[in-house]
Every structure is written in structure tokens, then in C-alpha cells.
Homo-oligomer: A and B are copies of this chain.
Amino acid sequence: MARTRRPRIFDRDEALLQAMMLFWEQGYEATSLLQLRADMGNISAASFYAAFESKEALFKEAVEQYMGTFGRVTESLADLTLTPREAIETTLRRTAKMQTDSDHPNGCLIVLSASTCSSKNNHIREIVAEKRKQIRSHLHDCIQRAIDVGEIPSSIDVSMLTTVFDTFMHGISTQARDGVPFATIDRAITEVMGIWELFKHSA
């Protein structure tokens, strides 16, 4: 049975998208409700809280929105149709491409939007830190798979190699924010992937 109600005057999905863009550009704390409401379609405070509950709830939703769209560039890590090396290389290149795209803020929302915050908002930092943890876990699994299928020697320290690529991947955010062009980062990725060749000499 359809509920009786006055229809919402703004598009909730579009409003969420704009909110995500703002959080991506400015970070959680630096983005004010006033600015959010303006960019979300000049909606009133009452409409905002009725539709999104709170700034924190909106941020959580924006993070999920990001993970389900732009953030999907890391999904290649779990793509079993690719070799582990291809999975990592594809993830890095897609990450660099996405983060330098001029259609949206540069860098990664998960890395940048709550890298620091006031002590009272440490739970906000946890929200994105948890996402980073998940991605690191996928990277870890991918490298473990490389050992399992014999692509790299089993003597390799998985945590160490996970850290190599995880560190590089996170560093891309700052490069993108600082205006380093995609082509340069892409060539750097080629060089970094060369690490994989070293195992053949060491094995």
C-alpha cells in the first residue's frame, strides 16, 4: 500500500552525489551544512535532516556511494580472471586514471576526506580507515594468491609486498591533488610493477 505523503521537491540521489563531491573535495569537517544544503539543491535544514538524518549519517552514505561507483576501481584486486600481477597492475592504473579525472575532485575520498580530524571526531576517521583496511585485505589476498599459484616464490613476505603496493596506491592521492598528470603516474606504475620481475631473479 502506497504511503500518503507530500512529494520531495529534490532528487535524493542527485543530492547525495553532490554531497559526496563536496566531502571528496573538502573533507568531512571542512564541509559545512550550509554549503552542503546549497550544493544539494538549496534544500532547507528541515528537508536535509528529514532525508539524511545528520551530517555524519550523510557522510557514511556518501562513503558507500563512493565505494559503489568511483571506488570500484579497486575491485580488480578480487578479479580471479586476472593473474595476481594483472589484478594489481590494473587496479593501480584504474586508480590513477580515476583520481586524475577532471570531472570530479582529484585524489581518493577514502584517503583524503578524513585523514586528520579533531579528537571528538575520531569515529569519522574510523569510517574511512575501515575501508582502507578492507582494500589492504584484498591486496593481501591477491598477493597470497600469487604465491599459491606459483607466480612468486613462497618465501616472499606477504605483508611486506602488500605494503609496497598499498603505500604506492595511497600515495597516488597526494600526487593527484598536487596536479601530477595521469601519464606520469601511469609510467611510474609501469616502473613499480617491474618489482615483480625481481622475484624471478631472486627465486
Task: Report A's interface with B, CB cutoff 8 A.
Answer: 25-27, 29-32, 35, 107, 111-113, 115-119, 121, 129, 132-133, 136, 157, 159-161, 163-164, 166-175, 177-178, 180, 184-185, 187-188, 191-192, 194-195, 197-198, 201
B177 to A167, Cβ gap below 8 A? no
Contacts of A194 in B (CB 8 A): 195, 198
CB-contact partner of A116 in B26, B170, B180, under 8 A: B26
Task: Give this chain's copy count.
Answer: 2
A168 to B174, CA, bound (A): 10
**A166 to chain B: closest residue by CB:** B175
Main secondary structure of the interface of A (DSSP, over half): helix
Contacts of A116 in B (CB 8 A): 25-27, 30, 112-113, 115
Measured between C-beta atoms, what is the minimum distance from A133 to chain B in Å?
7
Chain A to chain B contacts (Cβ below 8 Å), 27 pairs = A26-B117, A26-B118, A30-B116, A112-B115, A112-B116, A115-B115, A115-B116, A115-B173, A133-B178, A159-B184, A161-B188, A163-B175, A163-B187, A164-B192, A167-B171, A167-B174, A167-B175, A167-B185, A170-B170, A170-B174, A170-B175, A171-B174, A191-B198, A192-B192, A194-B195, A194-B198, A195-B195
CB-contact partner of A27 in B117, B191, B192, under 8 A: B117
Measured between C-beta atoms, what is the minimum distance from A44 to chain B in Å?
22
A30 and B121 in contact (CB under 8 A), knowing A163-B185, A174-B115, A177-B115?
A: yes
A30 to B184, CA, bound (A): 33
Contacts of A133 in B (CB 8 A): 178
B188 to A167, Cβ gap below 8 A? yes
A173 to B35, CA, bound (A): 29
A32 to B177, CA, bound (A): 25
Contacts of A29 in B (CB 8 A): 29-30
A118 and B160 in contact (CB under 8 A), knowing A169-B171, A178-B133?
A: no
